[in-house]
Structure 1
Amino acid sequence: MSSKPAASLIISTYNWPEALELSLRSVMAQSVLPAEVIIADDGSGAATKELINKFQAAFPIPLIHIWHEDKGFRKTIVLNMAIAKAKSEYIIQIDGDIIIHHRFIEDHLSFSKPGSFVRASRAYVDEKTTKDIIQHKRYKIHAFSKGITNVLSVLRIPFLWSLFETNYKNKGEEVYEIHGCNMAYWRKDLIAVNGYNELFNGWGPEDKELIARMMNLGIQKRFIKLGALAFHLFHKENSRNRLQKNTELFKDTIEKKIVFCEKGIDQYL
């Protein structure tokens, strides 16, 4: 694009202020800042609120805290609330256990293109290294830091982006592969499909179901490989007790080519 859009960075979090602090510090170190940062908080306690209040006093851009009561994993609801609050035309979305490369926002904005949404990669940080990073509050890491499990996901080579942009498996459910911890989309496109489906309770695969509806609408999926680098801190897996029911909703969206979910973002607009 000749002109880059204004972007809101949305960070989802739940009761891990130590990781969120590093994520926010990595935002402050960006070569290009987003227009605002919105914390989508799925019911964290006082420690997270205190951390955000501390950062708000010195943050170079608006830092907004969207919170709702903890009634279990209700990420779809708080994300819809955050997206409804966003003032920018473009949304970049990460999780609060993600540390971003200092050119992360710059890369996403450079890669943005109307009529499309973006899947991006992340590298995993192993458990031992995560504990060390948290203890020493280190947010400057790179592909060759100790404890990085998939180095190819965090090499930055912009001139190769076009090789991977639409070169992904186009069969079965693989075409719906997405990482909610590192993705980007136009706010108007998300509103057109009514945002996240709030019938999803508990973990997974709410992000895949969202982009399935976007693709059913004709919005193109694009993949940024070797750019928009993100490092995912180690944590235990979330409960999968609702996975079967959620997967049925996802498959229903694919089979029936659903575009607009009944319970979504429209109630907050």
Structure 2
Amino acid sequence: MATPKLSVILSTYNQPEWLEKVLWGYEYQTEADFELIIADDGSSEETQRVINHFQNQSQLKIVHVWHEDNGFQKTKILNKAIKASTTDYLLFSDGDCIPRKDFVEKHLLNRAFGYFLSGGYFKLPMHISEMITEDDIRHERCFDVEWLKKHGLKSSFKNNKLTAQGAKEKFLNWITPTEATWNGHNASGWKEDIVKVNGFDERMQYGGEDREMGERLFNLGIKAKQLRYTAICVHLDHARGYVKPEMLKKNAAIRKTTKETKSVYTSFGIRKS
């Protein structure tokens, strides 16, 4: 069997209802030649049932990488997922971000040696997040600004993310003041580069843990390409009960060291020193 064109690595933790919607998004991609690796940070059996359902009925190759729940360990499960991947190009997103049907295709079209790709997300309010059905995903209603406005979405410049195409899309990617960084919900890069910097730093919990790996990629000489208005996913709303001030403080200190020492490698990543 031929190796797929890329691996999509999706992080999740006990959000089976959101994960199901996201998996429908990957079912309806214009580019289907990819493997889907679910990096599961210790979810319960309900999430396992959702994944089993898709594994049984989907044409996609879906791999479930899981470890026991021991607090916020996203970096550890992502490193396990990187090791489980079989392709040379990795696209990272979250189990609460529904991809537009051209999401995988756009990442493939824009990949380039010496670069990683940096996309964003479009935040949906809770009431719209809850009402989206498989049919809304299949027919792309959840990416249609007019449909979203009918259901209470407010007018905003950010709505351009869902409507920009062609010259407008390129122009907005060029002028956006948002820096192109490694964003865990929408970023892709060459596996070789990610392995060179040793993946994610497993000392880190919530707060900049994705960006820190991107900062090591920058230190390695890899540049970032802005795809904020090109590779589109919508973010389903949820509470963040797992965020603790001490996590943020610890992560900020690690990122500060990475920047000051221009570090390209972590000893706390895929390979342990």
- The question of a shared fold, defined as TM-score above 0.5 by the shorter chain, is answered with yes
- Counterpart pick for 2:252 among 244, 247, 254: 247
Equivalent residues in 2 for 1:8-23 (5 A)? 8-23=7-22
- Counterpart secondary structure, 1:235: coil
Which is richer in helix? 2
User: Which residue, out of 196, 211, 229, partners 1:192?
Assistant: 196
In 2, the alpha carbon distance for the partners of 1:165 and 1:142 equals 19
Classify the secondary structure of the residue corresponding to 1:52.
helix
Q: Secondary structure at the match of 2:32?
A: coil
> What amino acid does structure 2 have at the position aligned with 1:219?
I
1:2-41 alignment runs, 5 A limit: 6-41=5-40
Could you tell me which residue of structure 2 aligns to residue 152 of structure 1? 160
Equivalent of 1:205 in 205, 208, 226: 208
- Pick closer, same or farther for the CA change 1:7–1:87 going to 2, 3 Å: same
Listed as ranges, the matches of 1:150-189 within 5 Å are 150-160=158-168, 162-163=170-171, 175=179, 177-189=181-193
The CA deviation at 1:189 is 0.5
In the TM superposition, residue 168 of structure 1 has moved relative to its aligned partner by 5.8
Q: 1:257 and 1:86 mapped to 2: Cα distance?
A: 28
Query: Residues 107 and 227 of structure 1 are in contact (CA less than 8 Å); yes or no, is this contact kept in structure 2?
Result: yes
Q: Give the unaligned 5+ runs of structure 1.
A: none
Q: In 2, are the aligned partners of 1:158 and 1:226 still within 8 Å (CA)?
A: no
Matches within 5 A, 1:200-239: 200=204, 202-237=205-240, 238-239=242-243
Describe how 1:84-163 pairs up with structure 2 within 5 A: 84-133=83-132, 138-139=136-137, 140=140, 141-144=142-145, 145-146=147-148, 147-148=152-153, 150-160=158-168, 162-163=170-171
Q: Answer with 231-240 or 46-55: which moved more.
A: 231-240
Which whole-Å CA distance do the structure 2 matches of 1:225 and 1:143 have between them?
17
The one-letter code matched in structure 2 to 1:142 is F
CA distance in 1, matches of 2:111, 2:169: 12
Q: 8 Å contact 1:143–1:151 — kept in the other structure?
A: no
Q: Give the whole-Å Cα distance in 2 for the aligned partners of 1:164 and 1:214.
A: 24
1:168-201, CA deviations, whole angstroms, 9 ceiling, x for partnerless residues?
65xxxx757442111111111000000000111x
Moved more, 234-243 or 39-48: 234-243
Give the aligned residue type for 1:191.
Answer: V
* Partner residue in 1 for 2:271: 266
Contact 2:39 2:77 in 1 (8 A): yes
Preserved contact between residue 164 and residue 223 of structure 1 (Cα < 8 Å)? no
Helix, strand or coil at the partner of 1:258:
coil
> Is there any run of 5+ residues in structure 2 with no aligned partner, and where?
none
C-alpha displacement of 1:59: 1.4
2:67 aligned residue: 68
Cα shift readout 1:228-268 (whole Å, capped 9, x = no counterpart): 1100001112413310111110111001101000011125x
RMSD: 2.0
Report how many residues are paired: 257
Distance 1:148 1:182 in 2: 22
- Aligned letter for 1:43? G
Deviations 1:123-165 (A, max 9, x none): 001011112226x774231140325563122234144454456
Look up the equivalent residue of 2:143 and give its one-letter code: H
Q: Tell me the percent identity.
A: 32
Q: Distance in 2 between matches of 1:244 and 1:180?
A: 19
The 1:137–1:198 alpha-carbon spacing in structure 2 relative to 1, beyond 3 Å, is: farther
